[in-house]
Chain A
Amino acid sequence: MSYVKGLKCRICGTPYPVEPLSICEECFGPLEVDYDYDAIKQKLTREEIASRPKTLWRYQELLPIDGEPRVGLQTGCTPLVRAGRLEKALGVRELYIKNDAVSHPTLSFKDRVVAVALSKAREFNFDAVGCASTGNLANSVAANAAAAGIPAYILIPDNLEKSKVIGTQIFGANVIPVRGNYDDVNRLCSEIAGRYRFAFVNVNLRPFYGEGSKTFGYEIAEQLGWEAPDAIVVPMAGGSLITKIHKAFKELDQLGFIPSAQTRFYGAQATGCNPISAAVKAGTREICPVKPSTIAKSLAIGNPADGYFATGVITETGGWSEDVSDEEILESIEQLAQTEGIFTETAGGTTLAVTKKLLAQGRLKTDDRIVVAITGNGLKTQEALSLADLKSIDPRLSAFEELIGTPQAAVA
């Protein structure tokens, strides 16, 4: 059974029925799912959740589907890693990596939103699904659509990393590279969705899609023993994820599952595409769009639809937003790999680099309990890296010793 009352405009509050709608006809504000939290509170307990399988569907009552989930049944419950070596390197007391770089099935947090959006697309009886994507969403829609046996139409900017293109094509999706940036792709998708009956997960299914991101937050709180952290650093592209993690903590608080959430929210962007962090730094909620130019292509959205809400969450919780250079992003990818054995994509490098900047600024405190949101996998953005060329040797012990010198290991 569903606990969804309907859809509601986030700006003017106009109610709408549960349909594939995303925009308020009165004011163009985005629509949001409205739940009956009193009914959820009567049904759902922490013990009940803990007894369920380790997938994001353990929080099903807080997700906007009516029947049983049909897509992405194994997604969610990624590790929350206590990052001891990184704590030492950064001089902080308690730091965790929420590691969606190992999300099933396509190695990014987008698997969460797609599980919910495609389950909903089936409930709405759509025959075809699609998305506008900077890569990770493309991978996830293509994979999950293939597994569900639904045709997929995926529009991407034509300059994406090769791994992200291959990781979409392999699933048999119709991949359509568009000359232009993500914002151009978005515009086209919106026009296609206006003409054809496609379930575009981030266009007409946006209210349902976005709710999947809340599970990233539920899991963090559950994994911390039903507590929210003091601070969380989240990468921002369209700006939705940070608002949904905030909503997740608020809902858990409202249901009495966690003590009053006081988490400060920090947003991370690349300097080459920083419309949200620029707004926060300028002390406004209003976003001024930019033309992206950064290696963090999954964050390269110059006109972030949820930017206004992201700036709201950041300022209201006493957080902040920063942006970092491409060089800082690459350094942080290497640092995370070499301290924690976690290989993240450029977005993750951005998040860690911003974490370091916020520590240096004193905005993040060294005794905070900090969570760093790692949302994607480094294997997908290998082009961004330039590591040292490797030298081959002959298969002789002396050649090994010549190359390495004295290895850091005792003689057996």
Chain B
Amino acid sequence: MSQTVIIPTPLRRLTNGVETIEVQGSTVSDIFDQLEAQFPGIRARLCEENGELRRFINVYIDGEDIRFLDRLQTSVGEKAEVSIVPAIAGG
């Protein structure tokens, strides 16, 4: 299984400017672990100390907000696109 993670601008300093990363994981949490292995420190930017997703971050699996699914335990299918998106102002 392989998925594509789209890294938002505020995290690209940690990924040396890389915009998209291929990973293999069965849940969002798995995928975060793999990101952490490649780019140490990234998990702490995404999650609070208690492990929950930070308030102003949205994570989408193929366009669906994981807060409408099983949050960090949401399973991620093959070839899914995982978007990490900061909260954006209204318009």
- Write the residues of chain A forming the contact surface with B, with a CB cutoff of 8 angstroms: 11, 22-30, 110, 131-134, 136-138, 180, 182-184, 186-187, 189-191, 193-195, 201-204, 206, 209-210, 237-240, 286, 288-289, 291, 301, 303-306, 308
A28-B88 contact, Cβ under 8 Å, with A190-B8, A193-B9, A194-B9: no
A195-B56 contact, Cβ under 8 Å, with A238-B89, A238-B90, A240-B89: no
A30-B87 in contact (CB<8A) = yes
Q: Among B6, B13, B56, B67, point to the contact of A305 (Cβ < 8 A).
A: B56
Would you give 22 A-B contacts (Cβ < 8 Å), ordered by A? Answer: A23-B8, A25-B11, A27-B54, A27-B56, A28-B54, A28-B55, A29-B56, A134-B91, A184-B63, A186-B85, A186-B88, A187-B58, A187-B63, A187-B88, A190-B86, A202-B88, A288-B67, A291-B68, A301-B90, A305-B56, A305-B87, A305-B88
A133 to B88, CA, bound (A): 11
Smallest CB gap from A187: residue in B: B85
The smallest C-beta distance from B71 to any residue of chain A, in angstroms, reads: 12
B19 within 8 A of A: yes
A286 to B45, CA, bound (A): 19
A28 to B8, CA, bound (A): 10
A191 to B50, CA, bound (A): 28
Q: Among A136, A191, A240, point to the contact of B85 (Cβ < 8 A).
A: A191
Chain A residues whose CB sits within 8 angstroms of the CB of B63 once the complex forms: 180, 184, 187
Q: Give 3 nearest A-B pairs by CB, closest first.
A: A238-B90, A305-B87, A137-B91
Chain A residues whose CB sits within 8 angstroms of the CB of B6 once the complex forms: 191, 194
Additional A-B contacts beyond A187-B83, A305-B90 (9; CB < 8 A): A22-B86, A26-B45, A28-B86, A28-B87, A132-B91, A138-B91, A190-B88, A202-B90, A304-B90
Q: Number of residues in B with C-beta < 8 Å to the partner?
A: 27
- Interface residues as binary, B37-71 with A (CB distance below 8 Å gives 1, 0 otherwise): 00000000100000000111110100101011000
Smallest CB gap from A300: residue in B: B90
Q: Which of B6, B19, B56, B83 counts the most A-chain CB atoms under 10 A from its CB? A: B56
Smallest CB gap from A189: residue in B: B88
A25-B45 contact, Cβ under 8 Å, with A131-B91, A303-B58: yes
Chain B residues whose CB sits within 8 angstroms of the CB of A194 once the complex forms: 6, 8-9, 12, 19
Smallest CB gap from A31: residue in B: B10
The smallest C-beta distance from A273 to any residue of chain B, in angstroms, reads: 11
Q: Which of B56, B60, B89 counts the most A-chain CB atoms under 10 A from its CB? A: B89
Chain A residues whose CB sits within 8 angstroms of the CB of B13 once the complex forms: 25
B90-A240 in contact (CB<8A) = yes
The smallest C-beta distance from B81 to any residue of chain A, in angstroms, reads: 10
Smallest CB gap from B57: residue in A: A28
A187 to B66, CA, bound (A): 13
A183 to B57, CA, bound (A): 13
B89-A187 in contact (CB<8A) = no
Smallest CB gap from B12: residue in A: A194
Chain B residues whose CB sits within 8 angstroms of the CB of A201 once the complex forms: 91
A308-B55 contact, Cβ under 8 Å, with A132-B91, A190-B85: yes
Chain A residues whose CB sits within 8 angstroms of the CB of B12 once the complex forms: 194
